[in-house]
Copies of this chain bind each other. A is one copy, B any other.
């Protein structure tokens, strides 16, 4: 089976390989047992939005935490930078201590991040991540300052300077961010680039199914989803039915299936990618984000879809062996060892 990447991507000379828009979040990782999830009415493995009061209540009930920068698209862009790609992240923090931590961490891996911090309003977004003994994570997100990202804040010149625009589905939970998101996709299309989207979360898909379908059919060139998300999008009962749906579209779909690896489809072209097991499973936080990082980095460099899937799989395999959503070791060294 032949495989090729987009000629327009290979030919263009742009400042950034990938620009991403997402919620700028600091994660608070806490060890938790299943009782805590039950007591708080949380569904394991999903993301729930909480307001500031709920966030405070949950935090008070949780064990000691460990803070580290997160945010789905932000993790992906940080991963692309760690792989040596030129990455730009757009998302809003408040000018507080957590905002300074977020800014430091994404800049420290070499990503470009220039969204000004909000000088007033809600504090920097936080995500309380309850890590259970089975290494699953259940997330409660207080969006805080990150929902104040509006079209006016968006540097559309930055978007046009990238070859790929990457959007996280979580942004769909804010109307203002959603408008910013569409404006950016229009700019990217007009500039001849490509648009990539992660569906982010099955509940997020449930909340916004119709507009996600419009986005997928109207703008998206590369779609990331896990099994729960893609079956939720098409309201089907099996992965196979969902895969058949995306195979009928004019896009690349990278469908992740946890320990089963991933399937990459572009119409009739199909690649089954094995997972990389690099050590004991510690924490699945960031697995999908790092899969997207590896995939998009290879894709932006014109590699074939099999190579894109393998690099995604390797990066995801690395991040699940540690606590936290961004790899602490060198991704370039990892690639040399496993794919060199």
Interface residues of A (CB under 8 A from B): 31, 59-60, 62-69, 78, 96-98, 101, 104-106, 108-109, 123, 323-324, 326, 328-329
Contacts and interface: CB of A to CB of B under 8 A. Distances in A.
26 contacts: A59-B104, A60-B104, A63-B108, A63-B109, A64-B68, A64-B78, A64-B104, A64-B105, A64-B106, A64-B108, A64-B109, A64-B326, A65-B101, A65-B104, A65-B105, A65-B108, A66-B66, A66-B68, A66-B324, A67-B68, A67-B101, A96-B96, A97-B97, A97-B98, A97-B123, A323-B328
Contacts of A323: 323, 328
Given A59-B104, A63-B108, A66-B67, 4 more contacts: A65-B108, A66-B68, A96-B96, A97-B98
Nearest to A106: B64
Nearest to A59: B104
A97 B26 CA distance: 12
A31 B97 contact: no
Say how many copies of this protein the assembly contains. 2
A207 B62 CA distance: 40
Contacts of A328: 31, 66, 323
Given A97-B96, A328-B31, A62 B123 contact: no
A32 to B, nearest CB: 11
Contact of A64 (B69, B98, B123): B69
Nearest to A66: B68
Contacts of A67: 66-68, 101
A106 B98 CA distance: 19
A31 B60 CA distance: 30
Contacts of A60: 104
B97 A62 contact: no
A255 to B, nearest CB: 29
Contacts of A108: 62-65
A59 B105 CA distance: 10
A60 B105 CA distance: 9
A5 to B, nearest CB: 30
A96 B63 CA distance: 20
A327 B326 CA distance: 21
A27 to B, nearest CB: 10
Contacts of A59: 104
A40 to B, nearest CB: 15
The CB with the most chain B CB atoms within 10 A, among A31, A64, A104, A323, is that of A64
A63 B329 CA distance: 11
A123 B98 CA distance: 13
Contacts of A106: 64
Q: Which of A65, A78, A109, A324 has the most CB of B within 10 A?
A: A65
A98 B67 CA distance: 10
Contacts of A109: 63-64
Nearest to A326: B64
